[in-house]
Amino acid sequence: MKLHALGLLTMLVGCAVAPTGPSVMALPGSGKNFGQFRNDDRQCRDYAYQSIGGANADAAVADPGMRHAMAGTLIGAAAGAMIGGSHAAGVGAGTGLLVGSMSGGEYSQHAATRSQRNYDNAYVQCMYGKGQKVPVSAEFAADHARASPPPKRRSQATEAPFYPPPPPR
């Protein structure tokens, strides 16, 4: 029974997975056809996947969670043995497994989020470099707009006067 619970909790710790694709939208760039976009998308997905560790990305996300669960089990068993003897060692191990699993699961989730963010950054950089349209944060867009000089106004003497159309009857 204890081994069954240990196996179940250990499986739950490894639920975080490495990214399988971008979580940002990209669109075909100006003058690019859909075939070029698909080819660039495939190349940039490969580039982004390699940039986060490639085939080892799943292991990089799950391993820390497993280590937390195992460390919690060992520390809990040792503390239980010191406090209450052999019977308390089992209770301590179970408690340590539970606490270590929760800690490991949270750590794995943070690692997965960090991995997805790094994947998305590499993907966006690649797609932008290939001339595709990619998302831009509002902060970046605002900074860019402020850095642009204001458009030059033509003098009013050269502009034709504007008269609004008459209201409908």
Per residue in 72-104, pLDDT (tens digit) is 666 766 666 666 666 666 666 666 666 666 666
Query: Is the pTM here over 0.85, yes or no?
Result: no
The 3-class SS string of 78-120 reads: HHHHHHHHHHHHHHHHHHHHHHHHHHHHHHHHHHHHHHHHHHH
Q: State CA 134 to chain mean position distance.
A: 16
pLDDT at position 8 over 50: no
The answer to whether 32 and 127 are in contact (CB under 8 A) is: no
Q: What is the pLDDT of residue 151?
A: 61
Q: How confident is the model at residue 166 (pLDDT cuts 50, 70, 90)?
A: confident
Q: How confident is the model at residue 9 (pLDDT cuts 50, 70, 90)?
A: very low
Identify the CA nearest to 48 among candidates 124, 114, 109: 124
The answer to whether 28 and 132 are in contact (CB under 8 A) is: yes
Rounded to an integer, the average pLDDT of 126-147 is 79
Reading the block at residue 41, the tokens are: 């998308």
